[in-house]
Structure 1
């Protein structure tokens, strides 16, 4: 018994070797029932929705009068400090190059944030317009259906006998019956009495 089992095991091993080959043994098998491991990325990841909401909040703040007032106050304080303060405490002298750099930096960041907020608003408007268009199509389809139903009801009511029509027809029949009765015509002849059948016994 043992030699046969050994022979069978060697046959199975050789068959597995020939079927799998050298490439199948070196290639790692992927399990379909398990999630893949996350890949490592060199660049940091961020949530685009969170970044978009932050950009909309900043763009909304930049478009308010409060931002203009605060920016004006900061610029006035900046200029007054660099003009009236002692020379040792001044950090930006008369041409105010550092102030110009800060304002340029603020403008260079504000423009893309405003464009991003506008793009998100355009996407929302596009979705709303698509929903409105579908709602209008459904309303038009419902209106056309109701119009066809009302037209069918009108056509059907045109074929229904109304009370006035039945009254006029009955009046005509009564007149016709009165005319036949005055002429001596028997309108409804009486039925002859039926005799008793022999078979009814």
Structure 2
């Protein structure tokens, strides 16, 4: 135990608090698990779940299921005996259920869209980098081709050599013997 005052040790909670502060300042060690009132959730898992739900909400299967549910609800509450009905006039509980479904569907869809936007942003950045490299490679190859063309302008070609040899042969044949 350390002491601030001679002859008197620090209280144990003060030493523990100092140790916690020193541990919290270290970035090479994981944080100690603390109990909080907030529940912990994995954002990636929740995001994947929201994308699955949003994907399902955008299908014809969901529309068929929802239409069937509403039709059964309305028929039950209009044709069933009065004692069996659970949603009387004017279908207030059905309205509440649909409002709850919409209030949860909208944020889940927005979350899925935000995650898709983030993936698109990363993909666009990677595409931009690849396009930049391709452009640099193309410019390099263009310069190399231009250099080769300039260098080849000074090189004797097969046709040039053939024409020169043909001219020499003609000159030799034209000389008197």
- Do both share a fold (TM > 0.5)? yes
After alignment, is 32-41 or 98-107 more displaced?
A: 32-41
Report if the CA contact (8 A) 1:83-1:94 is conserved: no
Alpha-carbon distance, 1:173 to partner? 10
Given the alignment of the two structures, is residue 152 of structure 1 paired with residue 143 of structure 2, yes or no? no
Q: Partners in 2 of 1:34 and 1:144 — Cα distance?
A: 48
1:133 to 105, 128, 137: 128
Report if the CA contact (8 A) 1:58-1:113 is conserved: yes
Q: Could you say which residue in structure 2 is the equivalent of 1:22?
A: 4
Give the direction of change, closer, same or farther, for the CA distance of 1:151–1:38 in structure 2 (3 Å limit): same
Give the direction of change, closer, same or farther, for the CA distance of 1:44–1:168 in structure 2 (3 Å limit): same
Count residues in correspondence: 160
Structure 1 unmatched runs, 5+: 1-19, 183-201
Q: Could you say which residue in structure 2 is the equivalent of 1:69?
A: 64
Deviations 1:74-99 (A, max 9, x none): 11111111112222221110201011
TM-score normalised according to structure 1 size: 0.68
Structure 2 unmatched runs, 5+: none
Q: Partners in 2 of 1:77 and 1:171 — Cα distance?
A: 101
- Which SS does the other structure have where 2:4 is aligned? helix
Q: Partners in 2 of 1:140 and 1:56 — Cα distance?
A: 36
- Which SS does the other structure have where 1:22 is aligned? coil
TM-score normalised according to structure 2 size: 0.77
Give the direction of change, closer, same or farther, for the CA distance of 1:171–1:34 in structure 2 (3 Å limit): closer
Alpha-carbon distance, 1:112 to partner? 0.5
Give the direction of change, closer, same or farther, for the CA distance of 1:71–1:163 in structure 2 (3 Å limit): closer
Deviations 1:164-192 (A, max 9, x none): 4445289469959x97x99xxxxxxxxxx
2:86 to 91, 94, 116: 91
